[in-house]
Amino acid sequence: MAELLEIAKLGNPILRQIAQPVSNITDATLQALIDSSIETATAANGVGIAAPQVSQSYRLFIVASRPNPRYPDAPLMEATAMINPKIVARSDEIVKGWEGCLSVPGVRGLVPRYRAIAVEYSDRYGNLQHQELTDFVARIFQHELDHLNGILFVDRVESDRDLVTEEEYQRLISS
Ligand code: ZN
């Protein structure tokens, strides 16, 4: 078991920094950071986590979509480390969907995102990967990429009225 890491919360300046590119992907310290980030996201019922959220300002995030109490309808996928990630193409279509964030506990927001994106990243073995992502997984990627640029989902809502508490959100999705 990797150790659980402390999650930086809204107001912590590290969440507003531009993260640095990763150069030594296969280093043991980076591999340990990947393992601990996966454990931390899983333990917190997250579907993704970015390195700045665990106070490491590097261009690295984990996408780990799976159904859990915070996201009952999430598709199941293996937790994947995405390093130096980029969006290389995007759909014209933008869709709004509910997001939360481990760094902004207790709040959900209705956030517009591209419905489909083509992405590029290095995997944890240092191999360049190209993928097309759609819907919920595309949304996670865009949310996590924002973290690497100091942007939080609350910055992306179109109106303050698109912010709700976790409690009201749970009521909304169960109605
Ligand atoms: Zn987040």
> Which pLDDT tens digits describe the chain residue by residue (175 residues)?
678 999 999 999 999 999 999 999 999 999 999 999 999 999 999 999 999 999 999 999 999 998 888 888 888 999 999 999 999 999 999 999 999 999 999 999 999 999 999 999 999 999 999 999 999 999 999 999 999 999 999 999 999 999 999 999 989 888 7
Active-site residue among 144, 158, 166, 167? 144
> Does any domain span residue 162?
yes
Q: How far is CA 69 from the centre of its chain?
A: 17
How far, in Å, from the CA of 29 to the mean position of ligand 1? 23
CA 140/CA 149 separation, integer angstroms: 15
Split into its structural domains, the chain has a count of: 1
Residue 56 maps to which CATH number? 3.90.45.10
How far, in Å, from the CA of 93 to the mean position of ligand 1? 22
Which pLDDT score, from 0 to 100, does residue 71 have?
Answer: 84
Q: Which residues contact 14 (CB under 8 A, 6 or more apart)?
A: 8, 52, 55, 57
CA 100/CA 166 separation, integer angstroms: 8
Minimal CA–CA distance to 121: which of 27, 50, 44?
50
Which pLDDT score, from 0 to 100, does residue 99 have?
Answer: 96
How far, in Å, from the CA of 167 to the mean position of ligand 1? 18
Which pLDDT score, from 0 to 100, does residue 173 have?
Answer: 84
Amino acid found at 143: H
Q: What is the pTM of this model?
A: 0.95
Which pLDDT score, from 0 to 100, does residue 1 have?
Answer: 63
Identify the domain containing residue 20 by its residue range.
13-174
How far, in Å, from the CA of 153 to the mean position of ligand 1? 7
> Does any domain span residue 149?
yes
Is 144 among the residues known to form the active site?
yes
